[in-house]
Structure 1
């Protein structure tokens, strides 16, 4: 993995991604074990033993979700422009197309990989996606799911270069 990589996103993309990561942070902070998205982020270690799976989740869930929250915070911090979170409501048509250059260390790139993958898991759960061949059914959120996958793929390719 390369020591540093640079990515470019339009301000519109960066603002949307920052908003999505903020929503993800809320899901992770809530830690609602009955939320299927949280359960998907903390899968059962013992699918054939409910008691062992419950105990394992009890012992590991808080730590895992805390690490996911820290990763998400690192991603949001890297999406700031001049130290300020991007706000979709404040972007006009001209500035939305401006480019945000994101310089990532290998540690922050790792946080990006984990966060984008986790975001896709949450969206997949919310959309009822169970496999990659599934059609979108006309739900506009499916496009967001695909876009995050596209960004994740670009990041993986850049890290492997």
Structure 2
């Protein structure tokens, strides 16, 4: 993974293996379905639009009512950006020597990927019952996927700092 500045354009290069592209594509498609079918009683949707006022339930409910649609629209646009890049990468030439696919992202796409990876982790954490300070079973494949998303997010952040 790398970060390159040429003129005013900044790009970040992300190298993924075929399996990673497939997993990310499936997860992002499921996330888009969640946004499309957003249920106000779904704890994952609540976690994606957290309370603005921890000590005032009424004010938090009003804030959510006023901002949830815009927030979910932005999250959906971010996920669509990521899905588009993944689909383009899957259709591109692969490095036959190691089975990798290179994805080149501009600054706006990098931010969309970061927000989408973070959203995926929030949804998974909600579904798995992981709180802020919970420890989890690193041998459970569901938690392994959760940790892998954190790794991918971390490597993307590090690439932008280089």
Normalised by the length of structure 1, the TM-score is 0.86
Total equivalences in the alignment? 151
User: What is the deviation of 1:98?
Assistant: 2.0
The aligned residue for residue 100 of structure 1 is 101
The aligned residue for residue 115 of structure 1 is 116
The structure whose residues are more often strand, as a share, is 2
Q: Helix, strand or coil: the match of 2:53?
A: coil
Q: Which runs of 5+ in 2 are unaligned?
A: none
Runs of 4 or more consecutive aligned structure 1 residues displaced over 3 Å after TM superposition: 81-84
CA RMSD of aligned residues (A): 2.1
Q: Helix, strand or coil: the match of 1:80?
A: helix
The aligned residue for residue 144 of structure 2 is 143
Once the two structures are superposed, what CA deviation does each residue of 1:118-145 show, in whole Å capped at 9, x if it has no partner?
1101101111111355022753210100
Question: Does 2:6 correspond to 1:5?
Answer: no
User: What is the deviation of 1:82?
Assistant: 6.4
Alignment equivalent of 1:56, drawn from 63, 76, 80: 63
Change (3 A) 1:113 1:82: closer
Bigger RCO (CA 8 Å, 6+ sep) = 1
CA distance in 1 between partners of 2:134 and 2:62 (Å): 34
Q: Which runs of 5+ in 1 are unaligned?
A: 85-94
Deviates more, 1:131-140 or 1:101-110: 131-140
